[in-house]
Amino acid sequence: MKDTSARGDRLHVLVTGGAGFVGSHLCAALLAQGHRVTCLDNFFTGKRDNVAALLADPRFTLVEHDVCEPYEADAPLDRLYNLACAASPPRYQADPVHTMMTCVLGVGNMLALAERHGARVLQASTSEVYGDPAEHPQRESYRGNVSCTGPRACYDEGKRAAETLCFDIVRQARLDVRVARIFNTYGPRMQPDDGRVISNLVVQALAGRRLSIYGEGNQTRSFCYVTDLVRGLLALMEVDPAPQGPVNLGNPDEYTIRELAETVLRMTGSASPIAHLPIPKDDPARRRPDISLAARHLGWQPRVGLEEGLCETIAHFRALRDDRSSVEVDGPVRWRQFSGMRQRAGSLE
Ligand SMILES: NC(=O)c1ccc[n+]([C@@H]2O[C@H](COP(=O)([O-])OP(=O)(O)OC[C@H]3O[C@@H](n4cnc5c(N)ncnc54)[C@H](O)[C@@H]3O)[C@@H](O)[C@H]2O)c1
């Protein structure tokens, strides 16, 4: 594996899924550290707008490409962050076969690319590998409770298979790969219509519509602000030696969805009522990361509390609403025609 220390800190970094929510924040942070960044995206859920401000920087390159197809970089690569994959349930369920292929073929192609370049890899995995967890909070050692045939399986099992590929290659001493198990992350640049719980609730509250919560809203989630996550991803990529297995990155503060809805109502000043909808299949009841491994190996822990993060996120959605008043989110998320099929109602990653 290549030692880049002799070239100092300026690296060539490939970020797949770089035009997405997390990826665009990561690209900006890498540029701010002085690196050259190639952002590769098929714009399935990502948007050029997310990286528009970066295009003026000569160290930033935007490439349209689907990771399901092999890719060759035009210059030697030092680091590869593999984030390509829709993260919101309605989006990844829209074309489940493509989601599974993105997870498995995509990771295979990106690992092959990294191997040709001797680049270090960080794979974006997910708390969904724990499924509907029987262990709480979730430690990395927990093997999970995932349905391999349900509607979420294309993502959950796809990400699990991707981890398998990563650790097989590590065991064969072919690459240095780090795997981040990311828990719910939120912040500016989330799409208003992507069906994630924070975007749904904030958009509905700002529009004065009913806030859709599933069941009584007693399910719990832990919400990590995007800048905290990006700090964790950067730290995990650069720590030496590499942790032996996957590392949870998330905020351990746990809220019920009802508490979240009430906080959103208070912070937006909205008088929207709450609508109770049927709980989607395989929706996890509880989610909270045990982050002791990240604290020990990376010295990492989240800094941004829910209200502080929500404040930025609400401002983002307010600005979007004022820009374009066309987005409609009501009860089960309504979608415009997308990828040739009508979307289903989403749940809560
Ligand atoms: N945001 C979260 O809460 C969260 C939680 C767990 C895991 N993750 C993981 O983090 C990564 C980024 O998530 P996000 O929230 O930014 O989602 P996102 O949907 O905003 O971004 C995903 C990006 O990947 C691109 N993409 C999808 N399929 C692709 C393909 N086949 N080829 C090339 N590009 C493709 C999309 O266009 C988009 O830009 C994902 O891998 C996701 O699984 C996110």
> pLDDT at position 333, please?
32
Q: Which residues of 96-107 are buried (b: 16+ CB within 10 A; e: fewer)?
A: eebbbbbbbbbb
Q: Which domain holds residue 123?
A: 10-182
Q: Is the CB of 44 under 6 A from ligand 1?
A: yes
For 164, residues 6+ apart whose C-beta sits below 8 A from its C-beta are: none
Ligand 1 nearest atom to the CA of residue 159, by list position: 43
Inside any domain, residue 109: yes
Inside any domain, residue 207: no
For 126, residues 6+ apart whose C-beta sits below 8 A from its C-beta are: 87, 155, 156, 159, 181, 182, 183, 349
CATH number at residue 34: 3.40.50.720
pLDDT, the chain, mean = 90
Q: Which tens digit of pLDDT belongs to each residue from 135-167?
A: 999 999 999 999 999 999 999 999 999 999 999
Please, which pLDDT band fits residue 324 given cuts at 50, 70 and 90?
A: low
- Is the pLDDT score of 86 beyond 70? yes
Inside any domain, residue 107: yes
Q: Please state, in angstroms and rounded to a whole number, the distance separating the CA atoms of residues 78 and 121.
A: 9
Find the helix or strand (DSSP H, E) in which 101 lies. Answer: helix 96-117
Mutate to test the pocket of ligand 1, among 45, 54, 157, 190 (most ligand atoms within 8 A of CB): 45
Burial label for 317, CB within 10 Å (0-12, 13-18, 19+), is: buried
Ligand 1 nearest atom to the CA of residue 184, by list position: 3
Q: Which tens digit of pLDDT belongs to each residue from 330-340?
A: 333 332 222 32
Question: How many structural domains compose the chain?
Answer: 1
Q: Is the CB of 17 under 6 A from ligand 1?
A: yes
> pLDDT at position 283, please?
82
Q: Is the CB of 130 under 6 A from ligand 1?
A: no
Q: Specify the DSSP class assigned to residue 338.
A: B
155 is catalytic: yes
Q: Which tens digit of pLDDT belongs to each residue from 43-70?
A: 999 999 999 999 999 999 999 999 999 9
pLDDT (average), residues 184-189: 97
Nearest to 87 by CA among 185, 211, 6: 185
Please, which pLDDT band fits residue 284 given cuts at 50, 70 and 90?
A: confident
Instruction: Determine if the peptide bond prior to 70 is cis (ω within 30°).
Output: no
> pLDDT at position 167, please?
98
Inside any domain, residue 2: no
> What percentage of the chain reaches a pLDDT higher than 70?
90
Q: Which tens digit of pLDDT belongs to each residue from 285-320?
A: 888 999 999 999 999 999 999 999 999 999 999 999
CB-CB contact of 207 with 329 (8 Å): yes
- Enter the pTM of the model: 0.91
Specify the 3-state DSSP secondary structure of 286.
coil
CA 9, distance to chain mean position in Å, is: 26
Inside any domain, residue 31: yes
Inside any domain, residue 61: yes
Which of 155, 186, 214, 255 is an active site residue?
A: 155
Inside any domain, residue 346: no
Inside any domain, residue 286: no
Ligand 1 nearest atom to the CA of residue 88, by list position: 19
> pLDDT at position 325, please?
52
Mutate to test the pocket of ligand 1, among 83, 178, 339 (most ligand atoms within 8 A of CB): 83
